[in-house]
Structure 1
Amino acid sequence: MANGSRQAAWEFFGTELKRRREDAGISQVELGSRVFVSGGYIGQFEQAIRKPQLDIAQRIDEVLQTDGIFERLWQKLIRDQRYADYFAAVVELERLATRICEFAPTVVPGLLQTAAYARAVTIAANPFVTDEYVEEKVTARLERAHILKDATRPEYWVALHENVLRIPVGGPETMAEQLEHIARLMRERTVWVTVIPYAAGAHASMTGDLRLMDFDDAPPVAYTETSFSGTLIDDPAVVKRAQRAYDLLRVAALSPKASLALIESAAEDYRRCPSTT
């Protein structure tokens, strides 16, 4: 579904939610309290500013007695078989974000991956799948990166642990191409990337990926991910803790200039390595 069509469909979701809520004689505040979100969130759902998570859509169906219509709409609009269920909502939010701040401890973030790197990561995690499956995943990942080419692209801040530079995903040629791609985006000022060196020692987020997203007309969210699951967080207190953790990561990182030099040096080292393919 194209972005414009998807947004129009979310506007229908919001309009239908407002109509069903008003028909039931329930205010935004009352519905919010009964599905465990604020009344303001209900208003944002109705205006298609923000998308509810699946459990909220299910609770709305229960409260309004709508026979599962909002769950079915959610499944149609959010669920994309190219992404894990826990990540599909994050892809939608990426398109709306005005700023994305990301920490990657071991693997280049999806928005920065080249096709060869994405292919190597996908095969490593799924060694028995078909080529068609691999290419579908790679295509989906590259499509996500289109938001960095838009005129209204978000500010994209990335903190990479030095692990990301040193783990030879896909071999020397793939790694050289990948790091050169990141360096090029840095020089073009499309992204702001810093590296947390091994010398920094322990850091604020050592258990998995962390992402923060800000929006013009909605509160910020955080997303954390481990190998087999991810969690989208909109609780203000927890998001604030995640923001503090990211601030600490930035303090531990090298300067942008030193980070660029390290990335380019690592790329040169891979270029000098004999190919293993």
Structure 2
Amino acid sequence: MTRPKDLDPSSNPRALLGAELRHARERAGFSQEALGAPLFVSGSFIGQLEAGTRRMHLEYAAHFDETLDMGGFFTRNCGALAKSKYPDHFAEAAEAEASATTIKHYLPLLIPGLLQTPAYSAELFRSYRPMATDDEIKELVTTRMDRARLLDNPTTPLLWAILDEAALRRPVGGPATMAEALRHVADLAHRHRVILQVLPFSAGAHAGMGGSLKLMEFADAPPLCFVEGLDTGRLIDDPATVARHTMTFSLLQALGRSPRRSLALIESMAHDYAHEEPHP
């Protein structure tokens, strides 16, 4: 049997590896469920690997090589997927985000990363890593801004962001940084690249008080949910859990201000920050 050639690291190895997995699985006569069962993963997870929305880890690669008689192809090429410029707890979510058709995101304390300005991001990274060098902070900011370039596409993904009022009122970096940050968010809304809602303090207790929530939908794979804490995160594909978190986001939408009123509030606060005297 002719073996497939190793992948070119300059290409999209995750998508190509997934396409090769689908081809090998179908050639061997396995269903997605049957291939995943010995690994204790669902058929939908195998489908996400094939669609390139999930990363193939070494233990899966070794199983696929043996089960599908691939002569070590998946194990050899798995290394192309192991390198990431993102933290381990976020790497797979960032990769999935890049291929999502719809992203819905709620953060309780911050402006979401995809909507941040360089100055706002730098202030956050400096607070997280007070001993980091300026070059290290600059590299982290560059990586985050590179991520945000997915919004350069005029239509995809659809991004729906719910900003907690706390994120607007916490003066990250001071008045000038916040004025710039909120104007940037408002500009993205005016350009129809994000649907914005503000969850006001007056909403009281709500379903998202436990932490951040990101939902991602794809053209050819089941949806995913990413929940994140301090230096930790979990990408979830279990349909029941994703459905429950989807309901959580819907509850937050119901409590939030309308997009029109939210945008007016953000612009008003940007104006106030711009005219606020910086503290000594």
Q: Structure 1 length as normaliser, TM-score?
A: 0.87
Are 1:98 and 2:101 matched, yes or no?
yes
1:27 to 1:128, Cα distance in 2 relative to 1, 3 A: same
Give the one of 89, 106, 127 matched to 2:92. Answer: 89
Does the 8 Å contact 1:34/1:63 carry over to 2?
no
The CA deviation at 1:17 is 3.9
Per the TM alignment, residue 71 of structure 1 is displaced from its structure 2 partner at its CA by 6.0
* Alpha-carbon distance in 1 for matches of 2:247, 2:55: 25
Match of 2:210 in 1: 207
Q: Structure 1, unaligned stretches of length 5 or more?
A: none
Closer, same or farther: CA 262–71 of 1 in aligned 2, 3 Å: farther
2:112 — aligned with what?
Answer: 109
1:124 aligns with 2:133: no
Q: 1:117 is matched by which residue type in structure 2?
A: Y
Structure 2 distance, partners of 1:44, 1:108, is 29
Is 2:62 the counterpart of 1:61? yes
Q: Which residue number in structure 1 is paired with residue 197 of structure 2? A: 194
Pair 195,152 (structure 1): closer, same or farther in 2 beyond 3 Å: closer
Task: Go from structure 1 to structure 2 and tell me whether the alpha carbon gap of 1:276 and 1:74 turns closer, same or farther (over 3 Å shift).
Answer: farther
Alpha-carbon distance in 2 for matches of 1:18, 1:190: 33
SS in 2 for 1:174: helix
Check conservation: 1:116, 1:174, Cα contact below 8 A: yes
Tell me, yes or no, if the aligned pair for 1:157 and 1:193 is still in contact at 8 Å.
Answer: yes
Change (3 A) 1:254 1:71: farther
Partner of 2:83 in structure 1? 79
**Mapped pair 1:36 → 2:37:** no
Runs of 5+ unmatched residues, structure 2: 1-8
> CA offsets per residue over residues 143-189 of structure 1, 9 Å max, x none?
11111111452100000100000011011100000001111111221
Matched-pair contact (CA < 8 Å) for 1:156–1:192: yes
In structure 2, what residue type is equivalent to 1:61?
Answer: A
How high is the sequence identity, in percent, across the aligned residues?
Answer: 43
**CA 1:44–1:110: 2 relative to 1, 3 Å:** closer
- Deviation at residue 18 of structure 1 after TM alignment: 5.6
Aligned to 1:172: 175
Q: CA deviation at 1:221?
A: 0.4
For 1:157 and 1:195, the matched residues in 2 are separated by 11
Residue 220, structure 1, aligned to residue 223, structure 2: yes
CA distance in 2, matches of 1:200, 1:43: 39
1:214-250 deviation digits (Å, cap 9, x = unpaired): 0111000000111220110000000000000000000
Whether the 8 Å CA contact 2:226–2:235 is kept in 1: the answer is yes
Q: Is the 8 A contact 1:6 1:77 kept in 2?
A: no
The 3-state SS of whatever aligns with 2:98 is helix
Distance in 2 (alpha carbons) for counterparts of 1:227 and 1:211: 15
The corresponding residue for 1:275 is 278
How has the CA–CA distance of structure 1 residues 94 and 63 changed in structure 2, closer, same or farther, with 3 Å as cutoff?
A: closer
The structure-2 alpha-carbon separation of the partners of 1:72 and 1:103, relative to structure 1 and needing over 3 Å to count, comes to farther
Cα shift at 1:120? 0.3
Residue type of the alignment partner of 1:207: G
Aligned to 1:134: 137
Q: Residue 175 of structure 2 contacts residue 274 of structure 2 at CA under 8 Å; is this kept in 1?
A: yes
Distance 2:47 2:185 in 1: 39
Q: Which amino acid aligns with 1:32?
A: G
The root-mean-square deviation of aligned C-alpha atoms, in Å, is 2.6
Equivalent residues of 2:215, 2:224 under 8 A apart:
yes
CA displacement, residues 179-210 of structure 1 (integer Å, 9 cap, x when unaligned):
01111111221110100000000111112110
| CA-CA distance at 1:125 after TM superposition | 0.3
- Cα 1:71–1:275 shift into 2, 3 Å: farther
The equivalent of 1:235 in structure 2 is 238
Structure 1, 125-134 or 65-74: larger mean CA deviation = 65-74
| CA distance 1:260–1:221, shift in 2 (3 Å) | same
